[in-house]
Amino acid sequence: MAESCSMLGGQALEVRWHGRGGQGAKTAALLFGESALDTGMYIQAFPEYGPERMGAPVAAFNRLSDKPIRSHAGVKNPRVVVVLDASLIEPARVTEGLVEDGILLVNSNVEPAELRKRLSLPPGIKLYVVDASKIAMETVGKNVPNTPMLGALVKVTGILDFEPMMVAIKHKLAEKFRGGKEKFVEPNLVSIRRAYEEVRC
């Protein structure tokens, strides 16, 4: 928690997730919120609802704080932006509102330096890249980048202790995959661990 407090600096950490309908941006935001709650934080997790079609750009949000969260306004200036699908970078204007020294975390197989150039990112923004789709294919066997991105997010923010978070996520996944789908729990956990280790800047 000491680390997380320094990250928060007395303010709520605000995260924005970008994905396409069906990629699990909302699920990831909820899972991230629940895991943070289990480590004793106050949380909010909420999706942005629009036309709910498979493939349409969607967003979801988190607020995390060590104090009760009172605001119910939208997240306009996130400290962290997570992009589940690199093809969204242009259409969804993923850096909009991102604070000057914020973090941009992208699921991509492009080298960070190359991606930074392509996006012409301001120097203050820290860019992190992880090939979450590849990890998901190799572990879960499906392109579900949302769970591995959780691991990468925890690494780059340092806001949660990794191992306790894994325990919390294991519990949540077991709930989610009940009734014959239990076999998906372990591969998802592996994917989170791999993304935690493989994310780079």
Partner 1 sequence: MILAKTGNEALAYAMKQINPDVVAAYPITPSTEIVQIFAQYVSDGKVDSEFVAVESEHSAMAACIGSAASGCRTMTATASQGLMLMHEMLFIAGGLRLPIVMPIASRSVSSPLNIHGDHSDSLASRDSGWLQFFCETVQEGYDTLIQCVKIAERTSLPAICAVDGFILSHCMERIETFEDKPVREFIGKYKPNWNLLDIKKPILVGPATMQDYFFEFKRSQIEGMNKALPIIEEVQAEFKQKFGRGYGVIEEYRCEDAEAVVLLMGSACGTMREAVDEMRNQGKKVGMVKLRVFRPLPHQVLAESLAKFKTVAVMDRADTVNAWGGALFTEISSVLYDSPTRPKMLSYVYGLGGKEFSLADAAAVLEQAHAGKKEDLVTYIGVR
Task: Return residues touching partner 1 (CB under 8 A).
Answer: 30, 33-34, 37, 41-47, 49, 68-74, 76
Q: How far is Cα 60 from Cα 172, in angstroms, rounded to an integer?
A: 19
Give the nearest distance from C-beta 19 to partner 1 in angstroms.
16
Write the CB contacts of 148 (distance below 8 Å, at least 6 apart in sequence): 130, 132, 135, 136, 139, 191, 192, 194, 195
Give the nearest distance from C-beta 26 to partner 1 in angstroms.
9
- Residue number, 172 or 200, with CB nearest to partner 1: 172
- Residue number, 31 or 106, with CB nearest to partner 1: 31
- Residue number, 29 or 98, with CB nearest to partner 1: 29
- Residue number, 45 or 150, with CB nearest to partner 1: 45
Give the nearest distance from C-beta 160 to partner 1 in angstroms.
14
In angstroms, the Cα distances linking 199 to 43, 64, 188, 193 are 24, 22, 16, 10
Residue 38: which of 152, 147, 166, 155 has the closest Cα? 166
SS3 129: strand
Give the nearest distance from C-beta 137 to partner 1 in angstroms.
29
